[in-house]
Amino acid sequence: MTEFKKQFFFIIFLLFLLPLAGHSVLLKRTGQFISLAEDAEVQGLSSGRLIITDSDKLTCYNIRLKETISHDFAPGEKPVSSTNGGFWGIVRKSELNGFGEEINSVEIFDFRNRRQWSVDGIVEGDTYLSPAGDYLAVIKGIRGRANTELFIYHRDSVGIRFYINDCNEFVFSEDGRRFFINSAADGLKMYDYTGRLLSNYGFQQNCAFSENSELSACFSQGKLLVINDTAIVSEVEIGEMQMRTMLVSDSIDRVFCIAGHRLIVVDITNNSIDWDYRLETATENFLNIDISGDSRFVVLGLNVNRGMSIPKEERYREGYLYFFNVGGDIMLTEGFSFRKYAPGTPRVAFWPDGRSIMVQTFGRIDVVEMR
């Protein structure tokens, strides 16, 4: 190769690196992964404490992704775990009450496999464990139907029982002291951990709490409402009629809204849209979002609809990780393919080691490193 050609290719190489150097961040797959059963459910994807359950067992992994706990389910057992991966429990069939209904018992453990508490006499229903591991909420009834009942069970206490019209969505605050129940018929209601009604915000499509539980937000008919404690402190029109999900950050006073094809970042302080990003085609859809522990970056999971000409079971085999800084100046992507689609994937989250991003797709969790 002549000297001129060497210099030419060196200049091309520098031009290729120049945009990346401006980013100061690169993404690289580490090759490290965790295999998942087809029916697996994952909690704690951003916490450094993974709890993975399937039809056969519950398994815990620590921040180094080393298996620490494995519990094989006996007949009549089913798991319950907190969304932050800090606590888990085993619900066991106990007996039938006088009305012929199933009554269960539950035993709660922390992430180090230390028994925390247990209680008997729990009704059968959709069971949620507080992020602090200190109480259970059980919703009995058919979702979307009236006359649904909510039960709250604290450590060694008699359950608190009251009626709710129905329940389409149940969301804990990060500290577990409050929760939302979203009902199409009865509106969005905020409760405290004792079951006391704190506020009703009327019909809302989505809701979320902030990472420090100081703020919350809800959305309906194009309007985003930001809540401090129980009071609405901000209202912003975002120009979308449907919202897939949102992330509220009280550390940087931003709400990150996903409207399928669009990421909208709202500045709470100024009650305005800070910046947004639109996907190029209607076949791409944002699914989920997370913010880094230092509040510098956001990451989103995106899937691709390969088209109506593709059989339904083959249509969603491709997805992407999208990476931004909080100001929207940096944009990086990493592609993934998978042999089968699982709803909500790719699911992405920052790992608390400050350098890793977890990507859950069908059958596995992959680790992508920021460099």
Give the pLDDT confidence of 40-71 residue by residue, as tens digits.
999 999 999 999 999 999 999 999 999 999 99
Determine the pLDDT at residue 310.
Answer: 84
Determine the pLDDT at residue 143.
Answer: 67
Domain match, 83 and 189 both: yes
Domain match, 83 and 172 both: yes
- Mean pLDDT of the 257-278 span: 94
Domain match, 163 and 286 both: no
Domain match, 81 and 196 both: yes
Determine the pLDDT at residue 313.
Answer: 75
Pair of tokens at residue 62: 């620590």
For residue 102, is pLDDT > 80? no
The amino acid sitting at 305 is N
Residues 168-220 have pLDDT tens digits of 899 999 999 999 999 888 899 999 999 999 999 999 999 999 999 999 999 99
Q: Residue 89: beta bridge partners?
A: 80, 108
Domain match, 330 and 195 both: no
Domain match, 61 and 185 both: yes
Q: Residue 59: beta bridge partners?
A: 52, 70
Query: What CATH number did the domain enclosing 58 receive?
Result: 2.130.10.10
Domain match, 191 and 287 both: no
Domain match, 183 and 308 both: no
Query: Which one has a higher pLDDT value, 89 or 14?
Result: 89
Residue 140 falls within a domain, yes or no? yes
**Range of the structural domain that residue 72 is part of:** 41-203
Domain match, 51 and 198 both: yes
Determine the pLDDT at residue 144.
Answer: 61
Determine the pLDDT at residue 10.
Answer: 41
Residue 123 falls within a domain, yes or no? yes
Residue 360 falls within a domain, yes or no? yes
For residue 93, is pLDDT > 90? no
DSSP class of 74: P
Residue 216 falls within a domain, yes or no? no
Of the three residues 165, 187, 203, the one that is the final residue of a domain is 203
Tell me the C-alpha to C-alpha distance, in Å, between residue 246 and each of 257, 347, 361, 362. Answer: 4, 14, 20, 23
Angstrom distance (rounded) from CA 184 to CA 221: 13
Angstrom distance (rounded) from CA 13 to CA 271: 44
- Work out how many domains the chain is built from and give that number: 2
- Mean pLDDT of the 325-334 span: 93
Angstrom distance (rounded) from CA 117 to CA 229: 30
Query: Which one has a higher pLDDT value, 94 or 360?
Result: 360
Determine the pLDDT at residue 148.
Answer: 85
Determine the pLDDT at residue 4.
Answer: 43
Q: State pTM to two decimals.
A: 0.88
Residue 193 falls within a domain, yes or no? yes
Determine the pLDDT at residue 201.
Answer: 97
In this structure, of 17-21, 71-75, 159-163, 315-319, the range with the lowest mean pLDDT score is 17-21
Angstrom distance (rounded) from CA 92 to CA 129: 15
For residue 132, is pLDDT > 50? yes
Angstrom distance (rounded) from CA 271 to CA 234: 6
Residue 261 falls within a domain, yes or no? no
Sheet holding 115-123: strands in order across? Answer: 77-81, 87-96, 102-110, 115-123
Residue 53 falls within a domain, yes or no? yes
Angstrom distance (rounded) from CA 217 to CA 97: 40
* 120 within 8 A of 161, measured Cβ to Cβ: no
Nearest partner of 77 among 89, 62, 64, 65, judged by Cα: 89
Of the three residues 140, 169, 203, the one that is the final residue of a domain is 203
Determine the pLDDT at residue 164.
Answer: 85
21 pLDDT tier (thresholds 50, 70, 90) = very low
- 12 sits in which H/E element: helix 3-23
Of the three residues 187, 203, 219, the one that is the final residue of a domain is 203
Determine the pLDDT at residue 63.
Answer: 96
Domain match, 293 and 173 both: no
- Mean pLDDT of the 273-295 span: 93
Determine the pLDDT at residue 346.
Answer: 96
For residue 12, is pLDDT > 60? no
Domain match, 193 and 284 both: no
Residue 35 falls within a domain, yes or no? no
Asked whether the bond before 75 is cis by omega within 30 degrees of 0, the reply is: no
Pair of tokens at residue 55: 């039809």
Query: Which one has a higher pLDDT value, 227 or 14?
Result: 227
